Structure 1
Amino acid sequence: MKAYHRAAAYLRDRLDGRVPRIGITLGSGLGALADDIQDAIVVPYADIPGFPVSTVHGHKGQLVFGQLGGQFVACMQGRFHLYEGHEPAALQIPIRALRLIGCELLVLTNAAGSIHEAMGPGSLMLIDDHINFSGVNPLVGGNDEEIGPRFPDLTEAYSKHQGVVMQTAAGELGIELFSGTYLWTIGPSFETPAEIRLYRQWGADAVGMSTVPETIIARHCGMEVVAVSSITNLCAGMTGNVLSHEETLREGAKAAEKMSRLIVRWLEAQ
């Protein structure tokens, strides 16, 4: 039995017949949203067969199931990054397991650096497209046709419909929600000023070290995706400041309340 089938079987046993239609992945500094889930069922990643283990400070490393915004959701409180040493294919396991237990829609959040001065720390950006600058694709290797096609289409990697719903939710809450293109680098080093100048020329609006592989995997197995970045800093060379993960966590925590309200209102509109 493949690893994601084993993981899904374990999670079904824990859920006792309940089916989450929506999965949520929380990025750096944004884990507090999971604390608002009612009637929570908490499953540590370490207990789930085949699951990678999150090693990043600020990521709790657990799945939280329960009620949020009127929906029964599956919330990943902490994610996996290639810079932790995980094999790209290992990132398939959590997303495919969520799909197998019933998730049709995936909400991705992350902490990202902004390439535009007007979109400063504390801003939120709806991702409408991405650039994969990693040189890595998590689907490399043998393809399971029961999961998805060998050559999945990413013309609409991020759901236009759900993007409109998210923008509407932001408007109702009085939250300014930018939209733009997210560029993925592997990390863990932050980008150089020269790289940021190049990314700006390519049309990128924000830069981060996650989200894109999860989007590719989710689209491959037929899930809709909507994604929002929490802007924690202006990118290298824009301010003269030294970049750090501590700043990412600090600024991410400041934006967490705004992100939480937005996600809950979006859930209520489903």
Structure 2
Amino acid sequence: MKTISALIKEGSKLLSSHRIESPHLDCEIIMQYVLGVERSFTIMNHTNQVPRNKELLFWKLTKKRAERYPISQIIGNREFWSKNFIVNQHVLDPRPDSETVISTVLKYYQNKKQKIKIADFGTGTGCLLISILSEYEYAIGVGFEKSLEAYKITCQNTKKHNLLNRAKIFPNSWTECRDLFDLIISNPPYIKRSKLKNLQAEVQKEPRIALDGGIDGLSCYLSIFPILKKCLKKDGFAILEIGEDQSNIDKIIPLYGLAFQEYVYDLAGMKRCIVVKQDKEHD
């Protein structure tokens, strides 16, 4: 039997040979998962021997990482907004950039005792809706997720975070939305189809349906805007994540009887969200 540190060192060497960016960290994460322990345990007990069955599992998962599977898919979870979410190959990996949506909601709805009614379009893991509901104890929300496999993950995460009494998830497209909401959020697919083949190998392991924004990267937004006009309350806001291909999307919004509020930038200085409201002149 080999020690924890020896296996991590050997695994790191394998990942380095496959040009994985953070080989040592990834091997540490895999080891923690295999042993079912916290990082501090592997550091403090690095000379402990790893049972043979655990060693075999470590190598199986490390080789999967060498094949460019995202580390979150390998261990089945990912942290977002200081919470842990179940993930698999059927959902988009929660990313730190998307936390900009949450911080923007907190800016617009500063009273955390508000009874906000929220809709999440294309909810995926449920990370956005669940994180917001955790900040507003009297808020309720609904999520729309048309992928049945992704819908199952949303439901698992809703249950995991004890929000079954405040969140209702529908296995439908956002086009089925009929109610009125104070807040509508979404991180829709927004990458131009021509760019998909140039994405990182890890990203290409994620579901195409969650990435493909159509020929111009705008198709999902053009589907969402009419629903916002119909389902957003007069004093409500929609906060949508965007990418580099939507940098001038504010020019399109007035065509749908909506008003552009602002762009919100992420920590890297990139346009990350657009805030939209009803255009009262077109009511």
Same fold at TM > 0.5: no
Instruction: With the length of structure 1 as denominator, give the TM-score of the two structures.
Output: 0.27
Structure with more strand by fraction: 1
Instruction: With the length of structure 2 as denominator, give the TM-score of the two structures.
Output: 0.26
Structure number with greater Rg is 2
Higher RCO by CA contacts (8 Å cutoff, separation 6 or greater): 1
